Amino acid sequence: MGGILGDTVRNEEDYFWGRRTSTIDWCEENYAVSDYIAEFWNTLTNFVMMTMAILGICSSIRYGHGKRVTAMYAGLLVVSCGSALFHMTLKYTTQLLDELPMLYTCATALYALIEIDKDIKFGLRLPALLALFQAAVTLIYIFWIQNPAFHQAAFATTTIGTVFYAYKRFVVLDPCTETRRLLIKLRLLADIGMWGGFFLWNIDTIFCEKLRSYRSYVGVPLDAVLQLHGWWHILTAFGSTYNIIAVHIVRLAQHGLDKQFTVHYCMGVFPYVGKVHSTKSD
């Protein structure tokens, strides 16, 4: 998802993971906190998405909401784990584990929206078509166009399709007033997370040198507040989770189950879908 000039402040050969082989690097100074983690804060902030993904998986399995819903949350978990590994090592192989699962997770959400009914309409044709597109993008990205811009374009294409079908499902559904209000709230929170994160991601990329000088000036621990790529992780973790929860709720509304479920918050922070009248245990 974009990149900056490589970090030349330190000799990476002296640290645990050795020379960077990824095609992109980020604004956080490499190995500044730990000899074993290339980008400490960029790695740590991925645990926010991991937490919400695990909550989503547990919720989907507990209430039997289907493999498609579980797969969306599992995709988030894979993305967050891949991103953590990438920022920890700055290796090309782990970079792929960060970028490619984003495509697959978005494609899974698109499939869940198109095949929203319990009965499958398109059989194997739709998953085969989506899988073929993702496989083609994967092979081209690995063996031919190793440019992050290509990955971004492919991801944007899949995202546009997902947004289109999400809007289509929202319009044609006639859920109860509470559900419609909840979906509007989820979409708003998702947009705030995604666009807010995208804004900080650009600031981090464009003004990297200034941010590094500011971090050097304020010192530890206040420098962590200026790790804007880490804030991008946190905001997009919430944005992505709210997007998937919205798809989750739309599917429940399609099946007439939306009045039985709502969004709860673990520790008052991390959202997940649970029973309306369930007793909170978090």
Q: Is residue 282 part of a domain?
A: no
Give the residue ranges of the annotated binding site for Ca(2+). Answer: 25-26, 28, 30, 39
Rg over CA atoms, the chain: 20
The CATH number of the domain holding residue 254 is: 1.20.1070
Answer whether 0.95 is exceeded by the pTM: no
Q: Is residue 4 part of a domain?
A: no
Q: Is residue 7 part of a domain?
A: no
On whether the CB atoms of residues 246 and 166 are closer than 8 A, the answer is yes
**Which neighbouring-strand residues pair with 266?**
270
- As for how many domains the chain has, the answer is 1
Give the residue ranges of the annotated binding site. Answer: 25-26, 28, 30, 39, 87, 229, 233
Q: Is residue 6 part of a domain?
A: no
**Which neighbouring-strand residues pair with 262?**
274
Q: Which of 253, 66, 69 is nearest to 171 (CA)?
A: 253
Taking the CA of residue 27 as centre, how many other CA atoms within 13 Å lie in the half-sphere pointing to its CB? 27
What percentage of residues in the chain have a pLDDT greater than 70?
A: 88
Q: Is residue 280 part of a domain?
A: no
Structural domain harbouring 240: 12-275
Mean pLDDT, to the nearest integer, of 150-179?
73
Mean pLDDT, to the nearest integer, of 228-236?
96
State the chain's maximal CA–CA distance in angstroms. 61
pLDDT grade for 181, boundaries at 50, 70 and 90: confident
Indicate the pairing of strand 270-275 with strand 261-266.
antiparallel
Q: Is residue 151 part of a domain?
A: yes
- pLDDT tens per residue across span 64-112: 998 889 998 999 999 999 999 999 999 999 999 988 888 888 888 888 7
Task: Quote the CA–CA distance of 15 and 9 in Å, as a whole number.
Answer: 13
Q: Is residue 281 part of a domain?
A: no
Give the residue ranges of the annotated binding site for Zn(2+). Answer: 87, 229, 233
